[in-house]
Amino acid sequence: MSVALYAFLASFAVTALAVRLVLAFLRHRQILDLPNERSSHSRPTPRGGGLAVTPVILTGWLLLAGAGMVLSGQLVVMGGALGLLLLSWQDDRKSLPARTRLLVHLLAVIAGIYALPASELIFQGWLPFWLDRAVAGLLWLWFLNLYNFMDGIDGITGIETLCIAAGLWLLSPAQEQSAVLAGAAAGFLIWNWHPAKIFLGDSGSVPLGYLLAWLLLRMAGDGFWAPALILPAYYLADATITISKRALRREKIWQAHRQHFYQKAVQGGASHARVALLILMANVALIEAARWSRVSLWQSLTAATLMTAVLLFVLRRLGLRQRA
């Protein structure tokens, strides 16, 4: 077996066990996500699965680094993810001010941007170096926050992380790092599939968004910008469209809500599992489109756009049932 496959299996097994231990801790401490008018669940559920998922990923990456399988800037990014874990765990326990969260997110992104190899231009030389880095930093900051925004039903972020990481495993040089992420997502899904026994919490979704964004930016910097755009297409589309609408209505975009396409589908009567499986099927198609982009660039981008649009349409139609 390849090192990446060993990394996947080890990450999967350790995460599944670690989540079980964290679940007992959260239940004992009564750290629960209580249902409210903005929730998509109906019973108190332990929140903080990131306490298991994020440390397993960082430990796996540290072991890879010790074995010589390390990417340029990886240790800096691991430090940023650790800082985000500590901040987000505090947010899981007691809600922190939005400005505090945003400041730490920004600092972690700035550190990661400075750690990117100077030879890797994310936008392939279309922008001056300073603008390349500035735009990449803004995209990175947006991605780690949208990853948190989109974690609203059972299984959704486990599915999305597994699929993006699987695509990175297949298509990027960071095979071992991506395999660790994929294994951790699969191990967490055992406990988070509907009906979920535990939620990821900010301590999981924020570091996951941070680490995945870094790997996607590195892929783009290596010249494979199309796969880096295609793999997270659904999350990018759902979050960007929804938050843009809320901003135009002058709503507080950082507050919890139930306006995402997937949330409306659940409100319309679709189960969490059904919506997560629809997203899984679309993501498998997006992985294939990302693979195809190396042969036929514009056709693959067109196909990915159409597949994402179809998924959003289906989720919207499921949501309309609520009004019928």
Q: What tens digit of pLDDT does each residue of 20-71 get?
A: 999 999 999 988 877 655 556 567 889 999 999 999 999 999 999 999 999 9
Q: What is the percentage of the chain residues whose pLDDT exceeds 70?
A: 96
Instruction: Answer yes or no: are the C-beta atoms of 12 and 125 closer than 8 Å.
Output: no
Listing DSSP states for 260-272 in one string gives SHHHHHHHTT--H
Alpha helix stretches (DSSP H) within 150-271: 156-171, 175-192, 202-221, 225-230, 233-248, 261-267
pLDDT exceeds cutoff 60 at 324: no
Average pLDDT, the chain: 93
Nearest alpha-carbon partner for 174 in 137, 214, 205 = 214
User: Per residue in 299-314, is it b (16+ CB within 10 Å) or e — as a string?
Assistant: ebbebbeebbeebbeb
Give the contacts of 323 (CB within 8 A, at least 6 positions apart): none
The model's pTM is: 0.95
CA–CA separation, 35 vs 71, rounded Å? 41
Using pLDDT thresholds of 50, 70 and 90, give the confidence band for residue 102: very high
* Torsion over CA: 238, 144, 152, 96 (sign): negative
Using pLDDT thresholds of 50, 70 and 90, give the confidence band for residue 286: very high
Give the contacts of 211 (CB within 8 A, at least 6 positions apart): 57, 77, 81, 181
φ/ψ of 251, rounded to 5, equals -85, 160
**What mean pLDDT do residues 258-269 have?**
91
Q: Which residue has the tokens 């969260």?
A: 101
